[in-house]
Structure 1
Amino acid sequence: MSIRVLIKDYPHRAIALATPTHALVLRHSSSSTENNGNNNASSTSLGSNGPSAARCMVEFSRVEEVDLSDYRGLHSVNVHGTLGLITVDNNVFLVVVNGASKVATVRPGETVQRIHSVGFFCLTSSSYDAMLNDEVNPYPTDTIDDEGYEMGFGGKKEQSPLEHPCLALKKILSSGTFYYSSDFDLTRRLQHRTTDAATVSIDSLDAGFLWNSYMIQPLVDFRSRLAPRDKEALDKSGILTSAIRGFALTITIPTSSAPIKSTGSGMPSSMTLISRLSCRRAGTRFNSRGIDDDGNVANYVESETIYWTPTGVCFSYVQVRGSVPIFWEQQSGLLPGQQKITITRSAEATQPAFDKHFENLEISYGAIHVVNLLSHEKPQEVELSQKYRSHIKSSPLNYGVDQNHREHELLKLTEYDFHAETRGPGGYEAASMIARWIQGSADSFGYYLSEEVDERARIQGEDRIIRRSMTILQQEGIFRTNCLDCLDRTNLVQTIISKMALEVFLSHKGLRANQDFWMRHSSMWADNGDALSRIYAGTGALKSSFTRHGKMSLAGALADARKSATRMYINNFADKGRQNTIDMLLGRLMGQVPVHLYDPVNDFVVAELQRRAAEYSETEMINILVGTFNLNGKTNGITADLSPWLCPDVDPSQQCPEIVAVGFQEIVELSPQQIMATDPDRRELWERAVKNTLNRNAEKHGREEYVLLRGGQLVGASLSVFVRGDCLKHIKNVEGSLKKTGMSGMAGNKGAVAIRIEYGNTSICLVTAHLAAGFSNYEERNRDYKTISHGLKFQRNRSIEDHDTVIWFGDFNYRIGLSNEKVQKLCHVGDLETLYENDQLNLQMVAGLTFPYYSEARITFPPTYKYDLNSDTYDTSEKARIPAWCDRVLRKGDNIRQIHYDAAPLRFSDHRPVYATFQVLVQRVDERKKDALKAELYSRRREVVGDTRAGVDNDDTDDEDLIGYESVEPGLPPASSDRRKWWLDNGLPAKARIQPPQEGYMPNPKRPSNPFTPSPEPDWVDVQRMGGRPEPPPARGSQRARTVDFNNPPQSNSQARKLIVPAFPTHSTQTSNFDGSRDALNDLRRSESSASTRSLPTRPGPGSFTSQPQSQRTGPQVLRKPAPPIPNKKPALLSKNSAQSVAQSQYRDDPAPRRSMAERRPVPNFMDDEGGAKPPLPPRTGTGLSAGGRNLLDDDVDEGAGLRGWEVLQPQGGR
């Protein structure tokens, strides 16, 4: 699909990628990096945690919904998609592929494109529009220099006065080492991807091989927020491109050279080689060595050889290479002796990363055979080999439960000194002798094989033949080859291993290939070695002449010498810059942050749709029956009555369930012929018998007939899913997958077959499995479960766990850990509880070692294995198998409830069939209602916030951050962020200017500095000037502060928050303090009044001051408000018997409040008009004042005169 690049310069720069149906529009938002022009703005308005991410608005819509009239095309060449966005020198660039050519066709409809040229379109400036993008080369760059760059890049044009900041990225991306595919997932091998995927989902790719993951991730995140239909449209548009680095090539095999002849068609077959270079520890030769703490190694490459024939046969074989997985470095140097190897960590510190690396390999590929090609003579390589050998011996992959003996060898090592073995007269041809050391693993690992088969299906009442691919065999192990650089020696040996695998495949078919076939194979691998060597070392591979032609010529030797000299120069003078470019591409430079994309309207609509899901969806309870039966290879039960198993006596509502899933194990007897080619005839016979049984039951209950939805088979294990005819309209996205388990791909028929469906909008995964046999092999069964759970994948990279409901059923082969005699005795007396307590599956699940988070219903039936044929007697043969519940059903999901769990009395096998019924709550979405609601929300939202599409005429302000904001309460501003503070809106300075509520008010110095800290203190206090009539104190029990005039009726004053300290009583006793404890002098205990006493001065102890009459005071004094007349009767609030004083006693032990300077400062401007004398300040406690000061504890008539003018601040009532 052609994609046009359109640019709009005014009023805001925007870029659109437009297809005939849809458009992706992006516009840079300057609010993330620019200030609002206010010089007084707070620095906290900007990001303070390093460089902030550039922000861009993005919109994906149909072409007719976007106004593209103001856009212009930058050049006439259409692009092939975008690799993502990257920020360079504070400018945001959109990276697009504008030159590519097809280099490989894996299978019909699966093409691979090589990238020849990329373009960088700046979202923030038009200065770079005419620099790189006019120099587009849409043709293949066949002339690539030894550094992997185009020769004479830029042509003969004059150099631009301004160097493009993305020039280095342009060179590396245009070097011809990057590949992409719009047809299939290029990051995964054939065995791990399905054949019926219509589009490539960008979020399901393997990030380890996705080289533009850093640049494309913002668009992937944006895609994840789209509605399902918009996601599908974006995937089909081909705008988002996934790129790998490495090598891809398809060679056509003419019919005359093809070992498998096509019958009738005359079409040629093809051979493809795809090498995927990992980006986890990417770099150049001397800058990237060894392993990192995450288990990633340098120069890690997965190479896959694929052979396809027109008859539908498809062969695939995978092997990997990678640096020695220990921590080591090597310095570059002009002389060979200067390139010393340094091991940087001890063995103990290296083992965890080493184990992590091989654990990941085992999960992905199975058993591992290491082929180490390092020299036995060079001291530095010998040291690496010794460390390598030691870590392999310590690897947990080599041991079972008992560390003293080897139960399994999942990790093998072959040390083969390549240089020593090829030093003789035979030359490099002697390298083929390595086959003697690795032939056993090559045979046991097997290979991936699929064949196209015809299946009959009834669609809309008509019988049709559907041709689809069926997996016959899977590869169960991997060769990991390495030398020092993993280039020249490694590529030659990998060529030999690939040839060995093809020979094994052809021998199983009884065929042989001719010399022309092998020459084409060798030439393809030679090209692969050159490409990988250019990436890592800067030149083509050494020994490629022998790899290509099968012999080493003088010209080839001279070419190797030239390459060695060139490598030395590049490694010493050019690799540092290349490494920096690679790190920039992968987003690993210091300070690099990905671009942030946002679509405020779409984000709001998606969230609102989720919130209002009840308006367009409904729930329904459906019934599911699953059955599992190990047939022991028998066929005499096909004509038997299967209704006790498939139509059990259950509740009437479950007599005819909507879905029936039937799993068989050992559907065929194990034989080499059955392993090599799955025969679907036996499965079809059983499917027909099951369908007839179900339809007879449906007719009996007046229900519609059942339809075979999909079936799958892996050697002896098969799964068939039947659906009632009236439920077909609710089912969609049906997929099948399988996973073979076990150490060997040639022995055993163990594995799993899975089928996923979506009933309405609820995803259901049905898995039937046949796990490893053997009484004591429960650990291997646990490993089989993990292999299936992690390795079985559907399209879009969905795993078993990525479903709402999961049901496992099959022959799990877990046994009962008791003797045969005891188990039979317990079975005879019906003590199932004791048997279950010793059941291996139960114990392993309780320990969390297998099937985590799965549940099993209570078992109410006796063990289902092993019976004598056609009998209810347990095994009486010579082997005398211990009875066990081998056949099980497990479930997981929040929407599933199990109703029945039982075994059926069918006796033609040594197993008893087991069935289980479930009720599942499914959700159905009315897509028309949802689309209508979505359109309504879009329209309404755009009316509220304005047209926020990426190309409209809006100002670049911080207001873009507020798009989509919903206030929690009318009038409240949006929450602050690292770029925007609501209290600094509209140009307000960072320093606040506070206006008092009325004249004469000032901020309360007792208020805490943090305005959000709860406090009884008022915000403002009234400061009155002297000369007016002082206000009397408020009543002590009032809820709000008010002034009281003893000569006039009381009047409310909402602003007054003062309380005059009452006079002291006349008697004198010992005192302690004022806060919550009894005042012995005044016989007073504080009540629960909200009035504060923190402004009271601390009273000195007895004898601190000498009594002095007020009339004899001299000197300037501060005039205070007079105290109110002292009543004859003590106020009730100060009574000892006050109930409030009892409650206040809980504060007796609280410390006294700390005094501030404000408490010791006279109230300003409290002077009368006549300039009278001021009363003195009360003295500080323990300040050592002279005896001339008044003693506050003296018993004279004018008690409290020293406190005149001192006031207590009382908070507003109810605070």
Structure 2
Amino acid sequence: MQCKQCMVYVRDRPRAIALCPTRPPLSSRVPGAATAGTQVLVITLRDTTNRGRHAPAPGSDPRSAIGCDLHLADVSVLRDFSVLDADPVYGCVGVIYHERDVYLALVTECDFVCQVLPREAAYSLRRVSFLSLSSAKYDDWQRYDPNPTEYDDPAVGSSSGSGYGPHPCQALSQYLAQASFFFSPNMDMTRNLQARYTDCISSERAVPYDVKYLWNHFLLKPFLRFRASLDRAQQQYLDDAAFLVPLIQGYVGSVPLPHASVTGPNQLCIVSRSSSGRAGARYLTRGLDDMGNVANEVETEVICLLGTRCYSTVILRGSIPLFWEQSGLQISDHKIQLTRSAEATEPAFRLHVQALLQRYRRVHVVDLLKGRDGGSEYTLSHAFHSQIRHLQLPDLVRYTHFDFHAMCKGSNFANVELLVDRVADSVKAFGFFLIDLKELRILRQQGGVFRVNCMDCLDRTNFSQNALSWATLAGYLRVVLDQPASVMSHIRQEHAQLWVANGDRISRLYAGTGALRSNVLKSGKSTWTGLLQDVTKSVSRFYQNNFQDQSKQHVMDILLGKTPEARKIHAYLATYDVVRRHLTAQADRFLRRQSLTFFVTTFNVCSNLPRLSDVEKWLATGRGHAQPDAYVIGLQEVVDLNVSQVVSGDSTKRFQWERLIIRALDRIAATREEGTRASGDDDDESDAPEPVNYVILTSEQLIGACLMVFIRRSLAPHVRGVETTLKKTGFGGLAGNKGAVALRMQIYDTHFCFVTSHFAAGPTNYEERNADYRSIRDGVTFGNGRAVEDHQYVFWFGDLNYRLNLSYDQAKSLLAQDRLQEMRRYDQLIAQKAMGNIFHNYYEAPITFPPTYKFDVGTARYDTSEKRRTPSWTDRILIRSAGYDPDTADLTDDVHDGLQEDAGEDDEEDEAGGAGRGLKFEILRYISYPLTTSDHMPVLALVRAEVVEVNRSVRRQLIQDISKELAVATRPGDGKVGSPPTASDSRRAYLSPPSLPPTAKLIDVEPSPSTADETPKATTKLYHKKPPPPPPTSAQHKTKKPATTATPVILRLPPPSSATTQWWNEKRTGSNGDGDIIPPSDPLSSNPFRDSALSLEKATREAALGRTGVGVSCNGETTKVAAVELPDYLDDIFESHADEQLDGWEPIKPSVEI
């Protein structure tokens, strides 16, 4: 079956690439249609001279975003282009910034796989070529591309290419060609049949694909945003032309069913879709993330086509939805570590289950892990079952444990039928999806799904899924086919063969080799040959997982936009700016601000463990203030920093500290509750504080440095995006005796980063300590390339080891006189910070406590040893909130400027947001605590920090309201130049930003041939109302400016634009300097709000969780929004995120009884 193709045209100056379909789409053949005639898709980089922050030149700051212009144009524009001397392509995979350039990815070779349904074909990628959007250097792609093998080959190769040498995108091209990517030009492969047909019948779908299974979503984002801005006719043309190629990863295969005595096409097909939400290699990506995504999550659909009736059933696999890790340097025993407590895991686990219930209505979990004698596997299985029990949803979520190894011991794999018997009730209740394709009539829907897992969801899972799938399919076939047992046996063998191929493909993608026990699934019995093959695969897995997965993971992260070098590419739409400006002005309607209290402490424990009573007193130091919402504890020298500890990295002491702190916090909470009752407040229960108990969120250790975070149990549902990372600085970055542990997390919609560090020692080694600071600041990166200072708040604390430039006797003398203020003049950290060498824009509260180092262990005496180390403030806590200066309790100047001048600018920043412009914080206490079990004393800070929460439902409604106003405002008046403005004309002038290019013709006159090359000049008079000024500052509240009245303005029209010259990309001349614009005489042709509010409803679905960065101005008790960074909480209002957290925890119950 022939796939749709496009010809590629290029233009050098200015650089542009155009795609023209080789055959006109059906929608272009309708007479009188809005898209009648062939149109081409033109892609260009946005001119850097036009609002340059939208499109930094390739090779500039790797953290900024890039803008591109997309538009559908008449085929006549190709007269300025030249056709590329190459074969037609099969569509566009997307655009990507890589190796300091921007590339357009095109499918240049593909293979036909099968017809999933009549006239719905599936293809596999064979070759993806990358053309530069900035130069013609790589236009001859056939000389640059590597020569990838067929998609069946599992390994990601590293050939050097041919002709001109390796292409910069060679590794990405090879991965796309060899990692089982599939697409279809005439069907949506990201959704199963039931989702496709029920969505089509029940409602108009705002988003064309399911982004959960759309692997090139990051590359396609600007195209999807552009598509959302088109009217329906243009969208239909874009889809019919198959310009865009949505990719799924997984497996597609089919076999004919010649023995089925049904008239028409008879075939059995399997389509597996791997989720891109938590994609990665085996030992690098395990378990759950805070968005509810799990590793190796695959939806497998079995499709049986008999005549006009199509059967479909879906079954899932996915890693155990807990936070856990497993080391890869093992062959037999797999040591597993749960990295987050059950309480802290619960919110993300609920998100995972909620997403399953919304998609499939009911879920039956089949757990194949080992039982009580299974060691680590049993620990994981027990924790999983506990989370399910805690849901208390027995009618919606069922759990069955089936110890596969024990039940099928001795190669008795036929015992898997015992599993089918155990879940027979669900097999019958869930059923399958059935549709009559001729009448497009749904006869039955699948009412639930099996979620099957083992450790890696590979071998045991595939074997069991085959049995469950056949149980459902056999029940259907016995009803519709009147065939003898031999025919059913043949169909069962074909079904098993498909599952063998499916299991091998998924196993290669995740673990690097084919699935184990494939021979048993093929033949139904175990053989020596099969055992030898399994041993070979196990050894190969060990090698792949430990020595090749890192490079494979890196290429995967490039594709998904998760590398530090990744840059967003935005499709520029004029109407997008209008919506952003109005949301900025009304941000206080959907932003809620509140304060949280953090207890932050650092303690070099000298490898000693204090008593429980001492820890309780230490952590209860802030009892006079509000109960902390979180305890953030940084410890240093948890273990002795000797050679054996540096090599082994023992975690025993860390676990002891965790248990000790939890016990102390429980005792503190109990003491507070008793104190409340004793105070006699029991009579007024409404004023009694709720009992507070804490759960450990996470902990991480780098040899001696350890970071632990404990949060209120009630706060846990609002915490997500938790990541930890380590940075070694000892011995030139090779050893972990010195270094840092960093953690990032998002509370509500505010981003926090906590860094606890241990710097180089030595009285005079401040330069080494400065280098440690810079190494950690610049070297620590989290997911999506976030750095330490890409967060609204940064708390940096630890044994920073900065000393006093005093002798021992001088320091002791000043201490005896209590002259702490004078001692601070000799502090190295204060001096280096004042010189701008370290901790720029960090704040430390005034030090009012004596030096915390060095003491004789067990006493409060400073060092009496022979070395007599000078008492110093080595243990410190510093805080950063970008744009906020606590000394003035107000926003810094750059934020005030942004409020008054740039509130409407398109400052596209990183997701973590420019770090939240001036969120207010207050240090309530900054003291040391006299704990004498170490040669240091702990330092603590009680900090009240302002956080922001986005009300997404209010924001969604606000976007819809703005869209309606915009639709009204863009309706034309009487169209006569120079006539007084109508109400809609005035509103249009108000809504449109000054730089908005009108899409209508500026002069409705065609130039004569004799003057075609001349620059026409024309002046005209029209009435224009200026946009209102920004909201007044506090100093401006006293006076009110009179309302602006319509005044006649003389405007000189610019020359008309052409395919190569656009006046809006050039320097504006002849304007009055006030930003006057010409209201278009026609509605904006690209207005996405014109047809329905549905296109705007998709706005908030695409906003990823926790992209809020706001600046606040605090005056007394009032708090006002100051400089709101829209990209943080409004990343792209024209896109749709499937992973946005849903409001509340309300599982959707089945609407139809099956």
TM-score normalised to the size of structure 1? 0.46
TM-score normalised to the size of structure 2? 0.48
State the structure with bigger RCO (CA 8 A, min sep 6), 1 or 2: 2
